[in-house]
Structure 1
Amino acid sequence: MKKIILYSIVSVFALASCQKNMTNLNIDTKNPSTAPSYALFSNAQKNLVDYITTPNVNSNIFTLIAQYWTEATYTDESNYNLGNRNIPQNFWNNLYVGALNNFQQAKLLIPNDVTDPAVAKNELEMADIMQVYTYYYLVNTFGNIPYSQANNINKYPFPAYDDAKTVYYDLLNRLDTCINGLNPSAGSFGSADLLYGGDVNSWIKFANSLKLKMAMLIADSDPTTAQKKVNEAINGGVFQSNADNAVFRYTGITPNANPVWVNLIQSNRKDYVITKTLLNPMVALNDPRRSAYYTNQYSGSDIGGTVGVTNTWNNYSNPYFSPITGTIVDPAAPSILLDYAEISFLQAEAVERNFIAGSAETFYNNGVTASIEEWGGSATDAATYLAQPSVAYATAPGGLGAGAIGSTGTNTSTTHWKQAIGLQQYIAYYMRGFDAWTSIRRLYYPAMAVPGSPKSPFPWRYTYPANEATANGPNYQAAKTAMGGDDVTIKLWWMQ
């Protein structure tokens, strides 16, 4: 069985007794100069999940931007200050180096490491799917990005930026190639695959579900292509239950503990509280996920923090704010890359857009139920929740947001289905800040509160890393010009 860590057990004394070649003393047996492809693939998977899961304010503030949490004391990031800690640069570097480069190196080594051509083909497709997933984050965070010349420093030390729309359509094409190239009759990475244990059929479902998700992102900008890709994905087989979810399961033991635990518990930090933006609608709807999302143990009641102002934990003159529950900070808490609830909500939307046949209400109910069960609730809990007129698809009202979105304008075409699906999808996306941010940018719902001291309006994108302007100046300037500037208020190409 393949192992995640490569062990080298070498007896120095045995070598010394067998040979007198002193050059062997220069070989570092504990730090090999090369690694097998499967080890690089495993490492890249873990790196990627760590980066998109961590609440570390130096690299990932999507949970704050999506207003699930707000800061208790130091409020810069809750007020959309991206530059103080150079967050865009850290996020950029993590994904390009820690994830994409490792996947790329694995792909380069697979043809030599794997003797069975069919197995090698499956592994190459899986590595490419993970690259598509990673680029999805980058291109929808920054816009135009290095792509065709990326991760090839020997040939392109100063990579050019590719047009974001061109990148996105190429990612969709790559995903099609990967889906068609996967062979369920052959093996793959085995236990070195930390998502599905090498199960090829699961990877086909994951790739088709990712395709559906990516297609729905362009539903407003290119409905014809979106509809075509959505139907292809569904016909190819998307998630059908929570058993299909793409879940990274942490062991709970350092260095394989969930980074939320690392940053909040191991570091003994009390920096975050649940916001009113999330808490108020959950209380109003009597949401059964409340006890899994946050706790009221200190105040005896549900009290959300105000975004962008000091929300002190130990101010005895006022009630405590509701902090994050132990479920979230468990060192073995799993991290979700893609789940059945999301795919259900997207299909409900696809019905409303006349992309597919079916019942939007059924897909909506499936999404709500899947999320509640995923967070430890029961089917009965979900049925009771959905029976409320304020939650039932046909009667769920809009207007449960927390105020203006804080942007240069709002989408006046917001309809009932956008509000109903948008709110429940937002609640279900908890702890997946990037996906919630993307959904908000796409549906313009639910509304985000204006922070106490905003550094900028609601950010539609990240600014480029500061070092790109100096280390890769001409290409940065070209990208900046093509984007119409380098500002958080610039909408990406798919936003309407």
Structure 2
Amino acid sequence: MKRIKFILPLIAGFMLFSCSDYLDVNNSSDNPDANLVTPNLSLAAAQSDSYRTLTQRMNEYGNVFMNNWGANVNSFTGGYAEEFGITLSNNFYDDIWDGVYRGTGEFSRIINHPAANYENHKAIAMICKAFYMQYMVDLYGDVPYSQAHLGLANLSPAYDDDKEIYRDLVVQLENAVNMIDHPTSTTKAVGAEDVILGGNMLAWKKFANTLKLRILLRQSELTDADTQTYLAGEFAELAGAAFVDQDVTINPGYSNGSDSRQNPFYTLMYDLKEVNDPTRAERTAFRFRRASAYIANQLNVSPVDPRRGRLFSLIGGEVVGVEQGADNDTAPDNISSLGTGLVISSEQDGYMMLLAESLLLQAEAVHKGYLAVGDPQTLFDNAIVASMFQLGAPVGDIQNYIDSVNLIVGKGYGALGATPEQQLEAIFYQKSIALNGINGAEIFIEYTRARKNGMPLIDANIDMPIPGVTPDGNHKPRRLMYPVSEISNNTANVPAQTVTDCYTSGPFWFAQ
């Protein structure tokens, strides 16, 4: 049996809550005892509530900072002023913190629930918790963790070191897999209440393995002996592991019955009418978000990317973008909107992790010598195929694009004469296209990580301030500021932080 490892103290399930509204776990006397709401009754809500933040605000944050999205300056004024001016504050995207911690609290209840025989439900909650807690570290650095989700027992949780949190997330993923591998005779089966993988516990093991792979690779730019020894041991444990082999989707029964029932990304974009209803109205978010000139150039230049017409609408056969920070005097008369591969219907699936991302993570691990199974070129090419199918790109164009892009340094892994760094750049580039509009936070975090000698491996143009000047003059922030809600309610523990800190220091895994 694989050993079960423990790093941080498991204080009531190692979760966190301060006394802010977004972290409130206290129950009204008018409500039934929370212990009566068993894990099978709360799992779907926990999964759905957390995903809303991922696909809405985290997605927007990353896609704007990756220079994928610009503003429709022909119809709106002043949009994305803080983003384009890179003006950070404690209110800047503060709802990411609030939303993610609210969601992780729901997973905490499942993990810590006293009812017996829900080991599989708890394992799923542990995996989901690790998925979102990784983003808290990636976006903020140190966060409360070990004194977590205790309600009135601890209204002021201490902050934990981000490196130790990362290592404990790996432990929790391993423990979840161990629970799945060793059920008892009375362990309850998981069914439709799991709105991500439908109770397929083998698929959850693959998801856990792939999350572990992602967590480890995020640290792989660090060269200190301790980290490299740690990574070697953890990657050795992944030898022979199975990874995500299909898109990991979420769908609790999205419909056009009401705003709250629509897919949370789609509901930002359109009203409640059916797709084929000519009276279906665009919402402000859809009319506002437009392709940037940067991403238009990436998709339109040879080899033309078959995904471009699915990521954005085509105007005259091409994606037409706007310079971030431009005004309506300099912008094109028509700017491409989000495409039909992203905005589909009220019922569309959400995406937790794409098969394309899984394959590109594996390609990077093999490329760096951490995994010995698989060929990085094959994994790379298969990731492009998976992305094309997921977005619904024209099938006839896929192989031609793969053959052509593998001649381009920085976009194709097999480009003649490409250095190992340029091959990595191609992996990161293809990930940035596959996750464009789907998980913006992930690709911006990866972009922050993917650096060599202080410069990004991905096109350096997106690393320049637009149009303002950052504190050190040459890059976007490496993390967000702690929000007002946390400063107000956990004052004694919030680390001292200035705007400049967000530009000059990142999470522990950031390599200069």
Is this a same-fold pair by TM over 0.5? yes
Distance between the aligned counterparts of 2:331 and 2:85, measured in 1? 29
1:336 aligns to what SS in structure 2?
strand
Aligned to 2:13: none
Structure 1 residues 130 and 188, CA gap change in structure 2 (3 angstroms): farther
Aligned to 2:443: 436
Give CA-to-partner distance per residue, 1:96-141, whole Å, 9 cap, x none.
Answer: 12x11111122333x42x5xx3xx1111111111111110111111
Aligned AA for 1:39?
Answer: L
Aligned to 1:4: none
Counterpart pick for 1:239 among 239, 244, 265: 244
Percent identical: 22
* Equivalence map 1:48-447=2 (5 Å): 48-55=50-57, 61-72=61-72, 73=77, 74-79=79-84, 81=86, 83=88, 86-97=91-102, 99-109=103-113, 111-112=114-115, 117=117, 120-183=118-181, 187-221=188-222, 222-240=227-245, 242=246, 245-249=247-251, 251-253=254-256, 254=258, 255-266=260-271, 268-269=283-284, 270-284=287-301, 285-297=303-315, 301-310=318-327, 318-330=332-344, 331-357=346-372, 358-377=374-393, 380-388=396-404, 389-390=407-408, 392-395=412-415, 415-431=421-437, 432-443=439-450, 444-447=456-459
The structure with the largest alpha-carbon Rg is: 1
Distance between the aligned counterparts of 1:216 and 1:345, measured in 2? 11
Distance between the aligned counterparts of 1:86 and 1:262, measured in 2? 24
Instruction: State whether residues 79 and 455 of structure 1, in contact with CA within 8 Å, keep that contact through their aligned partners in structure 2.
Output: no
Structure 1 residues 77 and 328, CA gap change in structure 2 (3 angstroms): farther
2:480 aligns to what SS in structure 1?
coil
Aligned to 1:16: none
1:337 aligns to what SS in structure 2?
strand
Instruction: State whether residues 75 and 309 of structure 1, in contact with CA within 8 Å, keep that contact through their aligned partners in structure 2.
Output: no
Distance between the aligned counterparts of 1:94 and 1:213, measured in 2? 22
Instruction: State whether residues 90 and 482 of structure 2, in contact with CA within 8 Å, keep that contact through their aligned partners in structure 1.
Output: no
Structure 1 residues 397 and 451, CA gap change in structure 2 (3 angstroms): farther
Structure 1 residues 392 and 93, CA gap change in structure 2 (3 angstroms): closer
TM superposition shift of 1:494: 0.6
Give CA-to-partner distance per residue, 1:437-476, whole Å, 9 cap, x none.
Answer: 1110111232315354337340110011123333322211
- Relative to the length of structure 1, the TM-score reads 0.80
Give CA-to-partner distance per residue, 1:332-380, whole Å, 9 cap, x none.
Answer: 3322211221121122222221222342211111111111111113665
2:198 aligns to what SS in structure 1?
coil
Aligned AA for 2:80?
Answer: T
Distance between the aligned counterparts of 2:338 and 2:191, measured in 1? 35
Distance between the aligned counterparts of 2:294 and 2:378, measured in 1? 27
Structure 1 residues 278 and 156, CA gap change in structure 2 (3 angstroms): same
Distance between the aligned counterparts of 1:82 and 1:233, measured in 2? 41
Give CA-to-partner distance per residue, 1:229-269, whole Å, 9 cap, x none.
Answer: 334335231123x3xx2111362323221222222223721
Instruction: State whether residues 70 and 78 of structure 1, in contact with CA within 8 Å, keep that contact through their aligned partners in structure 2.
Output: no
Instruction: State whether residues 184 and 201 of structure 1, in contact with CA within 8 Å, keep that contact through their aligned partners in structure 2.
Output: no
Aligned to 2:38: 36
Instruction: State whether residues 195 and 250 of structure 2, in contact with CA within 8 Å, keep that contact through their aligned partners in structure 1.
Output: yes
1:323 aligns to what SS in structure 2?
coil
TM superposition shift of 1:84: 6.6
Instruction: State whether residues 68 and 291 of structure 2, in contact with CA within 8 Å, keep that contact through their aligned partners in structure 1.
Output: yes
Aligned residues: 436
* Equivalence map 1:1-40=2 (5 Å): 32=32, 34=34, 35-40=37-42
Aligned to 1:17: none
Distance between the aligned counterparts of 2:331 and 2:368, measured in 1? 51
Instruction: State whether residues 211 and 230 of structure 1, in contact with CA within 8 Å, keep that contact through their aligned partners in structure 2.
Output: no
Instruction: State whether residues 78 and 308 of structure 1, in contact with CA within 8 Å, keep that contact through their aligned partners in structure 2.
Output: no
